[in-house]
A and B are shown apart, each in its own frame.
Chain A
């Protein structure tokens, strides 16, 4: 398990953190920390300069909780940890000691206490405290900024952002871009609104292709008036799009918005070449961002949205790579070991499998990744950064 990259700013020591531990009797103790260090992989460490009760508690009950403020948005994160060990020397100890001494030197303040040890924890879970951010409402311009960035990145030109109404199946328009008749024609958003309502009720991505011809066909078979008061029939006009797409924006599994796009003048490819999996990532990343974006200065919003969209794209590309989508877990282990330079015999020994099985795995890996040799496989793994990711 690796810690998510978005957690890394938490370990820069910008704001005080705290650690809560508990005695064997269940009495909690809170300690302020100047900084938490990311040790490696899923391990974090703190400096023990003045810890007394905390240290005794960790011996009695190794389960503890770190609460760290993200300096970017001031939202707290809960990091559940398990006490592993204390280190009194070694590279981590020296690294943390150096950090403490450097800050002390720069501040011109003598160290309040010598570093006694470095306390190492294993991270068992990570959670953003969204309940502490739920009252934050994005500025109205936020949604317009988001649509602006989406239009630039994806070449989607007719866009709208909707938020679900709390008590019924309705949705509310928050921003739009490039929609013909917006602000003039009362029915300009009829189709998008209906689409957004459908996403809200179905909680999934909706795509519609060749809408015009389908609508015309449906209208032609309505021999008797079948209009409903709350759902009038949508006429086919010059501005009726030929296809559209709508996808949910979720913040930690809760629907907080819906983005609708319509094709304008034959941009079907721009809309429908985007895969569902990418839209799921995008919806999740945007949801998490919108939750706390009110704390981000207005001039930084667009840059942040671009960064989030890029992150979603990278995550999708990574998962779409045949290394993840085609290889089995065992085949990935073999490929990684090959890239590390191990021989087949060494790999067999490490993975407790026969030499023949390693050879079979390798043949399949070559075929699935379309690489001709051991050297090509090594290059493939190295160039895509898969070695680091799986180490």
Chain B
């Protein structure tokens, strides 16, 4: 059983809108990035699930031919607290009931804090899918003196 660092657990429990970006790349290629609509840390493992549009998955899938390394940047829409998760693509699946709840929760927080963005991120769960990454390292990305410092590191099997 893996444990996430305290600051990551605390960040994941914040009731704030989170800007999510998921990136992939290949050797010598222009990288790819897409918007995420929600995320969930798997507390039983070192996996993170990110919810993206199926249409984006099709583009992301093309990058799988060139490697499975991915990065996800999670940024609080309130105060820019942010963390970058780096790891390997492991799995993809449709959204579960729990995922749908998280997606709706994100929508309500965005509606409350950034109303102009709300219609854009109000996607139907059926249009989304969850992408699972096994995380190797997490970096602090909050602007400030500690930017880029390592928060967590572990080997990927």
- A interface with B by C-beta (< 8 Å): 16, 18, 20-32, 34, 50, 52-53, 61, 63-65, 67, 73-76, 78, 80, 112-113, 129, 131-136, 294-295
Contact = CB atoms under 8 A, between A and B. Distances in A.
Interface stretch (B78-86, B92-100, B101-109): B78-86
B27 A25 contact: yes
A64 B35 contact: no
Given A20-B31, A112-B143, A132 B120 contact: yes
Contacts, number: 119
Contact of A75 (B19, B80, B120): B120
What 6 pairs across the A-B complex have the smallest Cβ distances?
A22-B25, A28-B23, A30-B73, A28-B25, A63-B30, A131-B55
Given A22-B26, A28-B31, A30-B23, 8 more contacts: A16-B80, A18-B33, A20-B71, A22-B30, A28-B32, A30-B84, A50-B148, A74-B119
B69 interface: yes
11 contacts: A27-B71, A28-B32, A30-B71, A30-B73, A32-B82, A74-B117, A74-B119, A76-B35, A112-B144, A113-B145, A135-B122
B134 interface: no
A252 to B, nearest CB: 13
Nearest to B72: A30
Given A50-B147, A52-B148, A30 B119 contact: no
A29 B84 contact: yes
Nearest to B116: A74
Interface residues of B, number: 45
Contact of B29 (A26, A30, A78, A131): A26
Contacts of A64: 30-31
Contacts of A294: 119
A26 B25 contact: yes
Contacts of B117: 74
B53 interface: yes
Contacts of A53: 148
Contacts of B72: 30
Contacts of B75: 16, 32
A151 B15 CA distance: 47
A21 B32 CA distance: 9
Interface string B109-145: 0000000110110111001000000000000010111
Contact of A28 (B28, B53, B71, B143): B71
B21 interface: yes
B5 interface: no
A78 B32 CA distance: 9
A26 B67 contact: yes
Contact of A295 (B27, B30, B120): B120
A52 B145 CA distance: 12
